[in-house]
């Protein structure tokens, strides 16, 4: 995937914003709802890119950044993203977007 904002770890592993790897190899993402202590679980994925896409969608919906540089994959936001989505709707949309990336990766 091109056009991503990621940093390279010393181990050679790419680290995306809002993504971490579990000891058993799955990639997970969650985000805090602004103005509260609530966290939205965005899912567990096979690839770090899928978790990053889920985080991007949720981050964009919740925070509406003025700069797209805060996102991992700014060009991959789906067209159905709405500013008036509830946290649960954002959680569902982010999970769906991440699962779609994982599914596309499995087909290859």
Contacts (Cβ under 8 Å, ≥6 apart) of 103 = none
What SS3 class is residue 5? coil
Q: Which two tokens stand for residue 52?
A: 């990053």
Q: Which two tokens stand for residue 44?
A: 């567990």
User: Other CB atoms closer than 10 Å to residue 92's CB: what's the count?
Assistant: 14
pTM: 0.83
Assigned CATH topology for domain 7-107: GCC-box Binding Domain (3.30.730)
Render pLDDT for 16-50 as a digit per residue (tens, 0 to 9).
999 999 999 999 999 999 889 999 999 999 999 99
User: Other CB atoms closer than 10 Å to residue 52's CB: what's the count?
Assistant: 29
């Amino acid at each position: 995937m091109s056009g991503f904002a990621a940093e390279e770890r010393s181990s050679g592993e790419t680290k995306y914003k809002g993504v971490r790897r579990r000891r058993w190899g799955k990639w997970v993402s969650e985000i805090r709802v602004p103005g509260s202590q609530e966290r939205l679980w965005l899912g567990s994925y096979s690839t770090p890119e899928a978790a990053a896409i889920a985080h991007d969608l949720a981050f964009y919906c919740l925070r509406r950044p003025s700069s797209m540089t805060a996102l991992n994959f700014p060009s991959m936001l789906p067209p159905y993203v709405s500013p008036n989505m509830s946290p649960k709707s954002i959680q569902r949309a982010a999970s769906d977007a991440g699962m779609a990336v994982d599914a596309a990766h499995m087909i290859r």
